[in-house]
């Protein structure tokens, strides 16, 4: 992966792909064509306007393409010129070639889709780790609170009851122990618990489990939808290849309609991916300001900046609360140690019962130590290093792998839109060729052959210049001679000679001359007594026609 440029979000250096700088320098202008701020701010109407203008560029290309295609189709509908038979081969080769190119462009979208999916999946995993840390902090503070409220405070009350029950003669020592107990209870309830609860309240809004799950489900739906759209577009490309292979005019017309819809879809996706590329590049250049604004709705701005930047020169916003809680825990432990030393001197240790002063002091000491360990765990979870590490991991996955995938999807959509435009244009030109070629073939096949014409001439035994030997041109509407036999008669028709559907046109009302030899003519017997079968013929022998 080629890297270029760096974005410093903390003391660590985060690399970004070179596409970020390239798309970030895309001009951001408003409707008056004046430049506007290119800082990522999706809630700003001015920034939204600039992105809308950028996204309208592919839409404008689509509209212009549709107009040009419409004008072309209008001109082709009025064109009835005959085509050369060899032209269709060139068009078929071009269709197959551009169809292969289109499949390749769509294949790039599969690669880009996987890149985006892997990048977003890594980001979601890092966000899950951050959410787990926040959840662990919440559990740790709850555990600390339960330890104090359920264990330490009840043990202090029991110890106080034990002191009052086992009174000693030295009232000063007994009063000191009771005052120490009150002091420990005050530090625990008014300082220790309050500060820890304040820390928990500061981080309670930082849990993002629902948002992370929604992001994961949305990415999965996007991944599946992109694969489905790509598969549909590939099947549309296969339609044109099937039409070329079968030489099917209907299939090519079907592709012209489907290809037009695919072209509109591809250019629409180009607009979406172009806007996403520019917006993502703007965010990757400096992601902290936008995230601080959004996280300030959940936690304080100081807390958001502390974890996003993790600047070692800036103090932690939890330092004051942790310091007060730690001081209170140390004071409780110090007071407990003093009470333990006094109890060892003035109270007799009884090993039999646990309901005495020394076992109570041992329990108190164990719970105070446990509280200090829980407080240390809370302080460790509040450190910014581990959480910021996961944040940088999510940032790197988004600004490198996911950004590259979006660019690949953009290139694939733009290339596919252009190639679908070419395919629709060539296909609309090709099925017109197919129509003319088949029409000309039918016309040529319906022409009578020279052998049939010669057979007619020989059969009639008439010279070619005689009107009776002229054969009607196919497709003419000239009236048939009523003196000739019908097409359904048995003899003398062109059908019986191998030229179906043709008869001599009527050029004269005079019937054709009768041949000078006896025999059959059109199925009728010629008699020498003058009773020929030719209607209206005389009984005298006809004159001989000299060839």
Which residue did the predictor score with more confidence, 299 or 113?
Answer: 113
Instruction: Kindly tell me if the per-residue pLDDT of 237 is higher than 80.
Output: yes
> Looking at 92-96, 120-124, 418-422, which range is the least confident one?
92-96
- Sign for the CA dihedral angle at 42, 45, 47, 49 comes to positive
In this prediction, residue 87 carries a pLDDT of 63
According to DSSP, residue 34 is labeled -
Vertex 300, ends 120 and 379: CA angle to 5°?
85
Residue 89: per-residue pLDDT: 82
pLDDT exceeds 90 at position 98: yes
> How far is residue 288 from each of residues 4, 19, 124, 284, 535, measured CA to CA in Å?
20, 19, 18, 9, 111
The DSSP result for 482-541, as a single string, is TTSPPTTSSSS-TGGGT-TT---B---SSPPPPPSS-SEETTEE--TTS--SSTT--SSP
| pLDDT above 80 for 186 | yes
According to the model, what pLDDT value does residue 264 have? 95
| pTM reported for the whole predicted model | 0.71
More confident residue, 78 or 177: 177
Domain boundaries, the chain: 3-438
Confidence class of residue 488 from pLDDT cuts 50, 70 and 90?
A: very low
pLDDT beyond 60 at 62: yes
Q: If you average pLDDT over residues 477-506, what whole number do you get? A: 45
pLDDT in the model for residue 518: 53
Phi, psi of 45 (to 5 degrees): -60, -35
CA distance 463 to 237: 62
Q: Is the pLDDT of residue 117 over 80?
A: yes
Confidence band for 143, pLDDT divided at 50, 70 and 90: confident
Query: pLDDT tens digits, residue range 374-416?
Result: 888 888 888 899 999 999 999 999 999 999 999 999 999 999 9
**Would you call 15 helix, strand, or coil by DSSP?**
strand
Q: How far apart, in whole angstroms, are the C-alpha atoms of residue 110 and residue 151?
A: 59
What is the pLDDT, as a whole number, of residue 514?
A: 54
Average pLDDT over residues 331-335: 88
* pLDDT score of 502 more than 50: no
The angle formed by the CA atoms of residues 107, 100 and 73, to the nearest 5 degrees, is 115
Evaluate if residue 104 carries a pLDDT over 80. yes
Tell me: the pLDDT tens digits for 260-287? 999 999 999 999 999 999 999 999 998 9
pLDDT at 2 over 80: no
8 Å CB contact between 380 and 1: no
> Per DSSP, what are the bridge partners of residue 520?
525
Task: Quickly count: other Cβ atoms within 10 Å of residue 516's Cβ.
Answer: 13
């Amino acid at each position: 992966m080629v890297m270029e440029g760096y974005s410093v979000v903390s003391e660590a250096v985060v690399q970004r792909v070179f596409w970020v700088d390239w798309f970030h320098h895309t001009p951001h202008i408003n409707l008056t064509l004046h430049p506007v701020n290119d800082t990522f701010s999706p809630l700003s109407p001015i920034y939204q306007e600039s992105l809308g203008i950028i996204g309208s560029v592919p839409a404008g290309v689509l509209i212009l393409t549709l107009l040009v295609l419409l004008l072309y189709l209008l001109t082709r509908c009025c064109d009835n010129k005959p085509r050369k038979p060899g032209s269709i081969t060139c068009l078929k080769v071009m269709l197959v070639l551009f169809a292969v190119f289109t499949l390749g462009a769509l294949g790039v979208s599969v690669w880009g889709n996987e890149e985006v999916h892997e990048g977003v999946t890594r980001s979601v995993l890092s966000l899950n780790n951050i959410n787990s840390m926040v959840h662990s902090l919440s559990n740790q503070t709850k555990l600390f609170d339960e330890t104090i409220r359920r264990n330490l405070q009840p043990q202090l009350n029991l110890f106080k009851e034990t002191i009052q029950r086992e009174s000693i003669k030295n009232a000063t020592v007994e009063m000191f122990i009771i005052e120490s107990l009150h002091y420990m209870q005050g530090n625990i309830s008014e300082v220790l618990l309050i500060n820890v609860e304040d820390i928990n309240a500061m981080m309670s809004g930082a849990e993002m489990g629902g948002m992370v799950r929604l992001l994961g489900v949305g990415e999965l739906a996007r991944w599946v939808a992109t694969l489905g759209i790509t598969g549909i577009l590939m099947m549309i490309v296969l339609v044109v290849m099937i039409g070329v292979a079968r030489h099917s005019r209907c299939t090519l017309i079907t592709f012209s309609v489907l290809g037009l819809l695919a072209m509109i879809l591809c250019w629409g996706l180009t607009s979406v991916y172009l806007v996403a590329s520019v917006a993502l590049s703007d965010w990757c250049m400096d992601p902290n300001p936008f995230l601080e604004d959004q996280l300030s709705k959940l936690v304080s701005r100081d807390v958001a900046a502390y974890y996003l930047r993790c600047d070692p020169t800036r103090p932690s916003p939890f330092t004051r609360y942790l310091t007060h809680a730690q001081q209170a825990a140390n004071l409780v432990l110090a007071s407990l140690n003093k009470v333990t030393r006094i109890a060892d001197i003035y109270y007799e240790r009884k090993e039999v019962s646990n309901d005495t002063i020394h076992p109570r002091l041992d329990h108190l000491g164990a719970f105070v130590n446990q509280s200090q360990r829980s407080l240390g765990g809370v302080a460790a979870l509040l450190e910014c290093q581990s959480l910021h590490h996961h944040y940088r991991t999510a940032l790197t996955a988004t600004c490198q792998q996911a950004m590259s995938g979006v660019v690949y999807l953009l290139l694939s959509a733009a290339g596919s839109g252009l190639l679908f435009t070419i395919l629709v244009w060539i296909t609309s030109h090709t099925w017109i060729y197919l129509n003319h070629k088949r029409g000309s073939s039918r016309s040529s096949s319906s022409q009578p052959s020279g052998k049939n014409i010669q057979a007619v001439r020989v059969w009639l035994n008439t010279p070619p210049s005689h009107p009776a030997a002229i054969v009607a041109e196919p497709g003419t509407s000239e009236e048939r001679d009523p003196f000739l036999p019908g097409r359904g008669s048995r003899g003398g028709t062109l059908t019986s000679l191998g030229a179906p559907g043709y008869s001599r046109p009527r050029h004269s009302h005079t019937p054709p001359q009768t041949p000078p030899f006896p025999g059959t003519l059109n199925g009728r017997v010629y008699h020498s007594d003058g009773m020929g079968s030719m209607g209206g013929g005389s009984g005298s022998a006809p004159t001989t026609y000299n060839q």
